[in-house]
Amino acid sequence: MKEITIYTDGSSRGNPGPGGYGTVMIYKQFKKELGEGFRRTTNNRMELLAAIKGLEAIKEPGWNVLIYSDSKYVVDAVEKGWLFDWEKKHFKGKKNEDLWRKFLHEYRKHKVRFHWVKGHAGNPGNERCDEIATQCADGSDLKSDHGYEAYERAGME
């Protein structure tokens, strides 16, 4: 089975505020970097989106995927099984349902494990993701986080 390592990080300038994600994918000697910025979002959404975008970039199912993240929100939700309980309860009362559903769709295509890393502690992959995420958050061509903005309009945030 093929194995890939993915580093992820999210950033927001204010919570909510402008935000971005950074993803670094490593397969053998190949490396791919991904990132985007959004006008108004949250840090948790960007942390989760970083993982989603990494998984979406894997074009065929059945990979062993190791995701490094400094987000306890994302890592614990998956590794401690909370996400699957939330899904059984149709995400009642949970934030970011749109992204969690996207995550589950991609997650189920592979064998995914998470490894939590302390943020800003010198892990090169995590540090690079942080650079990408903050550069994207600070960019001038920011996209709309439609999911977050819909939550806001509905008064759910």
Instruction: Show which residues are catalytic.
Output: 9-10, 47, 70, 120, 130
The whole-angstrom separation of Cα 93 and Cα 96 is 10
Which of 76, 51, 79, 63 is closest to 111 using CA atoms? 63
Question: Quick one: DSSP state of residue 94?
Answer: -
The whole-angstrom separation of Cα 69 and Cα 44 is 12
The whole-angstrom separation of Cα 13 and Cα 115 is 25
